[in-house]
Chains A and B, each alone.
Chain A
Amino acid sequence: MTVSTRTRFRLALLALTTITGTVIAASPADVDRGRQLFSRSWSPGNPTIGSDGLGPLFNASSCVACHHQGGIGGGGDSRFNAISLGIESIDFSDGLTRGNAFDQRFGATLVNQFYLGFIKPNGDLVNTQVIPHHSLSSKSAHKREQLLSQLKVEFSDAGGPMDEGDTRFATASTLLFTSRIGDNSAVIRARIFQRNTPPVFGSGLIDDIPEDVIEEQEKLQERHPEISGRVSRLRDSSIGRFGWRANVSQLVQFVDRACANELGLETKRRWQTADPNHPAYRNPTHDIDDGDIESMSMFVSQLRRPVRIEPSTPNQSAVVEFGESKFASVGCAVCHVPNLGRASGLYSDLLLHDMGPNLYDYDAAEPHVVRYRLTNEYRDLPPELSIPYYGSPTVFRPDSLRGSMKSPRRDYRTNDYVPIQSGRELSSRVLKIGPGQVTSTVTRQEIGMERRLQPSNTSQEWRTTPLWGVRDSAPYMHDGRAETLLEAIAMHDGEAAGTRDRFLQLSLADRNAILKFLQTLVAPPDVPRVPM
């Protein structure tokens, strides 16, 4: 059964039924409650429900702290970039291989000397680790400061780099660390990766875009000589719409995950980011309940879509109109599709595209699924089923922990198996085959999906960024390394290299016309401003 076939499996998420889907008829009271929560500055400890509140690790104490450009719900500049640490390679000394067996415990100790968190509780060594901006533990704060001080980069009090120059410099710098115990050593080469805060204006409309509309874009591009976007098929077979990696399918899930990962507010489905310096610590209970997440989602879904401003003179209008036609003729509009479903003026296909080797990080996109079939054959289940917030790290299996280990830029797998049910996030599921045909509730070991994968450059595949509101959402690209639209266009590579070159081959006047057209795409008017 192909992904985009006649028969479609629809996997409804029962556990999320109370908070899934687009909020169509949100009450003003709910939206207002959501707005208050979105703007609320959280603090540690929540005696009312006995949870630990904000943290222990967090990027900001409120949503608006980062989402504020052009008003509440906008993007954020580089000072608010989320940061992660990615291991490029590790060279273990020979002494760590005893006979044919690698001393995993010893290797883990060496990696932990570099930075805690790469070794997961089950012993897996992963290649990325989030470095939240703030910590309630002085030890964690000190470790972060110590790590970042090795970069010749200025960081803001908010936690991210001071400006786009520092963003670029931080990402381009290599961190070298030699870890040593006795005669054994590990030389670790690592790099800082960042994610810029995206605006969430018009998210309700994105949430509403039917999956077949997104799949249709993939089909359209199959015949294109340069562009080959693919849907981000997630582990539950849904299609990703949100996030730089398109690894979240629904807005409510996006809000749910942001609470846990950005604010350290544990939800009923997502653990808050754990502090690796205090591994035994557990939050007594969740920090935010489903009603509040639902309200926040309602508020975000009600945020108006960005608009297009009319130039002030007929001459400027003509230039903008001409710019838009050039935008289409050089090929920008193949991926930056003007209208998708009801999201008119979106300028995105919501597909994943290979953007070339300069734009990568190790929190990778989901693998490229070309076929899947349901199976009830029991397989060894991967320990982590929910997709990590920023993307999927690579797990280095013990076999690969000999000698030199290098993070892959590409997912080489040709098949895998994902169980339908996962532990905490989804407590039960109902399988629907065809419209309205509910079969039965299934349990963890009974059913799974065998997926045929196509190798792809998952570390450099990014969702086409919607261009609506683009004038008011600088900096650009996934980590905000581009200060201007011209920089952003010039950075397009991979599938987009041909389009970029055609843009540069235009006359200066034509290029300027495209830039002027893009400058007419602005944040929605009358959005309440955030006092900074």
Chain B
Amino acid sequence: MLLPIVAPAMGDEVVGAGTGISWQPAFEPISGSTSDDSLVLLMVTNDPSSTEVGSPSDDGGWCGEVFVDAFRDMCSRRPELQNKIRLQSCLAGLPIELTGGKPGNGTARSILFVGDNQYRLLSFVVGVPDSSELMTLIEDAQEYRSMREIGTLTDREIKVKLSRRSRERLTRNWREVLDENLIAMDVEEAMDSTTESVATVIERVSVLNERFRDVYLSDVRLRFGLNDASDAARLTTLEQHVQTCRPWCEAMTPFVAGLDLQKFWSPITESVWGIMPVRSAVDVAEVGQPLVGLDSDELLVLSIQPPNSQRHIPWPPHRDSTLPLIDVWHRVDTMARSGQYQEINLQQLALIMSLRNLPPIDIRGSSLIRYVALPPDKNKPLLVFQSDPPGRVVASLKRFQNRPPN
């Protein structure tokens, strides 16, 4: 079963052909006739994604216009790049089906990835680059691709070269933490998406992010005069400017360059946003496997995967957890697993909401969403957050389980 892909079949259309600038949908197949030195610029934004068939094409989202201005300016200085670059857009905020029926992704965010014609990640920035920053980003991508193409350097040597490039652009505190992680990389060996499982690479991206995130937060506090959690919204706004997150990107790049963009754009984006991005109108075959065969005439309990950064925290909570009512949470979990049960991520949740034509829910709460229970009668789904009283959840599940089928 397929959800139609919204994008028009763009084939070989390239940016700058004619007078306008064209956007392709994310991960459009690249034809064999495309030259080897073409680049893909994938703009991921947190505009609400859509599960609707025939939704408007993604045109760079909230920052499309600003980005196109920068892109045009860059092309006027480097006209030879114009025909080598494809712009792709991916609206990846929570769809309105998951935010109570209204757009609800907060302050606008974006990440720009540069990939080669096989969707290998070459470079990336958080925010919307101006023309100079875009030029640097593309030159960085080209440099990395050249290193790979020369063929005389090992992966490790390439990463060391990338690290040196990053070091030159970083302040001392960042250089120190980058060096520490290079040493750790020697011990742990480089990430390799061709030999390691997706889950392993995702976990390593998450660990890396955890190491750099603390430095990033203490750095931006001093750089932008941020004092406490109430300044988080200010930081998100500032992250629309590439310079804000640049040190974090520079530190991450040596470790993630070369990864398969199609598999890993999401965990990298999640590292920055703190929430899993959700793509528009995806192929069920691509993400919907866990949903196949689920019976809509029975209670279905969906366990929602937490963000990668919290996936190592056990759920239901261990006995030594500081959370209250641990035993009751275990009972909730046991009840959930006793019937139709599936562990899914937000992308899959959006898909099932759309497939079953369910009313919108709002998964944004003051704590993590842990379960979504879909009763058989298409009634309002039950959302279970980590801060909810588990006793009440037990009662609700019992009620659903005892309800006779339609």
Contact = CB atoms under 8 A, between A and B. Distances in A.
Interface of A: 153-154, 162-166, 168-169, 172, 356, 358-359, 481-484, 486-487, 490-493, 504-505, 508-509, 511-512
A486 B238 contact: yes
Contacts of A172: 222
A162 B172 CA distance: 9
B223 A508 contact: no
Contacts of A511: 240-241
Given A358-B225, A486-B238, A504-B238, A169 B173 contact: yes
B243 A486 contact: yes
23 contacts: A153-B172, A163-B172, A165-B174, A166-B171, A166-B172, A168-B223, A356-B225, A358-B227, A482-B223, A486-B238, A486-B241, A486-B243, A487-B223, A487-B243, A490-B224, A490-B225, A491-B225, A493-B225, A504-B234, A505-B237, A508-B108, A508-B241, A511-B240
A483 B224 CA distance: 10
A356 B226 CA distance: 12
Contact of B237 (A164, A165, A482, A504): A504
Contacts of B223: 168, 482-483, 487, 490
Given A358-B227, A483-B223, 19 more contacts: A163-B172, A165-B172, A165-B174, A166-B171, A166-B172, A168-B222, A168-B223, A172-B222, A358-B225, A481-B222, A484-B243, A486-B243, A492-B225, A504-B234, A508-B66, A508-B108, A508-B240, A511-B240, A512-B66
> Does more than half of chain B's interface fall in helix, strand or loop, or is it mixed?
helix
Interface string B48-72: 0000000000000001011001000
Contacts of B224: 487, 490-491
Contacts of A166: 171-172
Interface string B152-173: 0000000000000000000111
A316 to B, nearest CB: 9
B240 A490 contact: no
Contacts of B241: 486, 508, 511
A188 B172 CA distance: 28
> Does more than half of chain A's interface fall in helix, strand or loop, or is it mixed?
helix
Interface of B: 63, 65-66, 69, 108, 128, 130, 171-174, 219, 222-227, 234, 237-238, 240-241, 243-244
Contacts of B69: 509
Given A481-B222, A508-B240, A154 B172 contact: yes
B276 to A, nearest CB: 24
A483 B174 CA distance: 15
Given A491-B225, A493-B225, A508 B171 contact: no
A358 B130 CA distance: 30
A172 B218 CA distance: 11
Contacts of A486: 238, 241, 243-244
User: Which 8 A-B pairs rank lowest in CB-CB distance, beginning with the nearest?
Assistant: A165-B171, A491-B225, A490-B224, A168-B222, A504-B237, A509-B66, A358-B225, A508-B240
Contacts of B174: 165
Contacts of B63: 508
Nearest to A481: B222
B392 to A, nearest CB: 39
A499 to B, nearest CB: 14
A504 to B, nearest CB: 5
A344 to B, nearest CB: 29
Contacts of B238: 486, 490, 504
Nearest to A491: B225
Contacts of B128: 508
A490 B235 CA distance: 10
Nearest to B237: A504
Contacts of B222: 168-169, 172, 481
Contacts of A504: 234, 237-238
A116 B278 CA distance: 62
A513 B252 CA distance: 30
Most buried by A among B108, B128, B241: B241
A509 to B, nearest CB: 5
Given A490-B225, A490-B238, A512-B130, A164 B171 contact: yes
A166 B171 CA distance: 8
A374 B223 CA distance: 46
Nearest to A489: B224
Contacts of A169: 172-173, 222
A481 B66 CA distance: 29
A504 B237 CA distance: 7
A490 B241 CA distance: 12
